[in-house]
Amino acid sequence: MKAKVYLKVDRQNQYHPWIYKQEIGKIVGDYENGDLVGVFTPSGRFRGIGYINDRSKITVRLLSFEPIDVDRLIKMRIENAIHRRKRLLKDQEALRLIYAESDWLPGLIVDKYGDYLVLQINTLGMEKLKEKVVSTLVSLLPNVVGIYEKSDAPAREKEGLAQSTGWLYGSGPEIIYFRSDGLVLAADLLGQKTGAFLDQIRNARVLSHFAEGSVCLDAFSYTGNFALHLLKYGAKHVKLVDYSERALQIADDLLKKNGFEGKYELINENAFDWLKRNSAYGEQYDIVVLDPPSFAKTARSKDQAIRGHKEINLRAIRLIKKPGLLVTSSCTQVISEMEFEQILLDAANDSHAELAVIYKSGQSFDHPYLLGVEETRYLKFFVCEARRRS
């Protein structure tokens, strides 16, 4: 570490991994973006080590609060992340192995699908550590057949990075099948995130209490996680709506593999448009599931995200037989749980309906969030009974 970063003032939340540009008083020494730097208080007291990128508002992302060799640090961080999930690894074929800041490896996501790992890097500093990460994963997980890089998130542009995809170790198929809850599911390496939405699998299990005999709608269905669980738990019929033809083709394959032929319908259309048009026809479904994209990556998009969430929830409520269930999510940390509840209340009021929350949750066990680091907490999941107002 050639360069030293001195803060303007000592930080109130000294254990937050992000140091913003406006917090920095001066930088002493030469560096290239992505290099490791030491971080110090104005008086020169050591605060930690991290990697720097002066192109980003988040100029330094901390890796440790102690001075430590980077090779040893990366190995220790990955070992600790795997150890935290040791019990989950015994009985889950698919799970998040490394969750960025929550595992003190900012910019790095690693998901496990059976014998394969899918890796996503979103920062320049972690990009420079990629070889160390891959070699450490291979050494710690000898049964892994292949490691695929799916670094295609828009966040890379802010770091001055191009998209990067392909096999870093071994090789494998475009679609990786895995088992969960007695179902065959899939990760599509050409699809969203790392291929599947692992954060919602545990939430889908909750539908076992409500699905039997129900007619359901799964909007923003992707490859059918919620639809598959609904049918497994006894739903009569599920309609899947998604804009991605490829995602619906994979959903179709999975629904057939799991023996649900004749119990579903696939609609390849923008779910916003479909909900708007069909809500005019009134109540049709016992259960409506909404699992939309994040709508907002930054605070600047917050108002737009709030409007988007209100619109789809309002339309969904109008499609639910009363009483019936609204199963709805928000997957952006920009909107808090309290704000999401207010969105649902506003949607219910405008629909002249009443919502009673019967269950709420967030991220799965393998996606822990750090108290004091709200950026690691993003998923809100609600199961609400929609009732007529009387």
Model pLDDT, residue 120: 98
Q: 326 and 185 share a domain? A: yes
The model's pLDDT over 81-102, given as tens digits with 9 standing for 90+, comes to 999 999 999 889 999 999 999 9
Once rounded to an integer, what is the mean pLDDT over residues 307-335?
96
Whether residues 273 and 321 fall in one domain: yes
- The share of the chain scoring above pLDDT 70, in percent, equals 99
313 and 373 co-located in one domain? yes
Helix-, strand-, coil-residue percentages of the chain, each rounded to 5: 35, 30, 35
Are 366 and 93 in contact, with CB atoms under 8 Å apart?
no
Residues 305 and 347 in one domain: yes
Q: Across all residues in the chain, what is the average pLDDT? A: 95
Domain shared by 125 and 91, yes or no: yes
Last residue of a domain, one of 172, 204, 223: 172
Predicted confidence at residue 38, as pLDDT, reads 96
pLDDT at 283: 85
Residue 107 CB neighbours (<10 A): 24
Mean pLDDT, rounded, for 364-371: 94
Based on the fold, state whether residues 77 and 37 are members of the same structural domain: no
Least confident stretch, 26-30, 336-340, 386-390: 386-390
pTM for the structure as a whole: 0.94
> Are residues 107 and 121 in contact, defined by beta-carbon separation less than 8 angstroms?
yes
Residue 329 confidence class, pLDDT cut points 50, 70, 90: very high
**What is the rounded CA–CA span in Å between residue 210 and residue 228?**
14
Query: Per-residue pLDDT for 277 more than 70?
Result: yes
Tens-place pLDDT, residues 180-228: 999 999 999 999 999 999 999 999 999 999 999 999 999 999 999 999 9
Question: For 135, left (φ over 0), alpha (ψ -120 to 50), or beta?
Answer: alpha
Look at residue 18 and tell me whether its pLDDT is greater than 80.
yes
Claim to verify: residue 194 and residue 158 sit in the same structural domain: no
Residue 28 has pLDDT above 80, yes or no: yes
Q: Provide the number of structural domains found in the chain.
A: 3
Is residue 284 within 8 Å of residue 321, measured between CB atoms? yes
Question: What domain range includes position 188?
Answer: 177-388
**What is the spatial distance between Cα 5 and Cα 41, in angstroms, rounded to a whole number?**
9
**Does 146 share its domain with 183?**
no
Same domain membership, residue 77 and residue 38: no
Same domain, 258 and 375: yes
The tokens describing 8, both together, are 């303007």
Between 12 and 152, the higher pLDDT residue = 152
Tell me whether residue 97 is exposed, middle or buried, using C-beta atoms within 10 angstroms of its C-beta: 0 to 12, 13 to 18, 19 or more. buried
pLDDT band at residue 12 using 50, 70 and 90 as cut-offs: confident
* Residues designated as active site: 331
Q: State yes or no: pLDDT of 74 exceeds 90.
A: yes
- Pairing type for strands 320-331 and 285-290 reads parallel
Return the minimum-mean-pLDDT range out of 49-63, 121-135, 240-254, 299-313.
299-313
Domain end point (choices 42, 64, 86) = 64
- pLDDT tens digit string along 234-245? 999 999 999 999
320 and 249 both lie in a single domain: yes
Q: What are phi and psi of 385, to 5 degrees?
A: -90, 125
The two structure tokens encoding residue 313 = 């929830």
Would you state the pLDDT for residue 384?
Answer: 98
Q: Are residues 203 and 346 in the same domain?
A: yes
Q: In this predicted structure, which of 246-260, 298-312, 367-381 has the lowest mean pLDDT?
A: 298-312
Give residue 1's pLDDT band: very low, low, confident or very high (50, 70, 90): low
Phi and psi (nearest 5°) for 343? -60, -45
- 124 pLDDT band, cuts 50/70/90, is very high
Which of 172, 194, 220 represents a domain boundary (last residue)? Answer: 172
CATH code for the domain of 91: 3.30.750.80
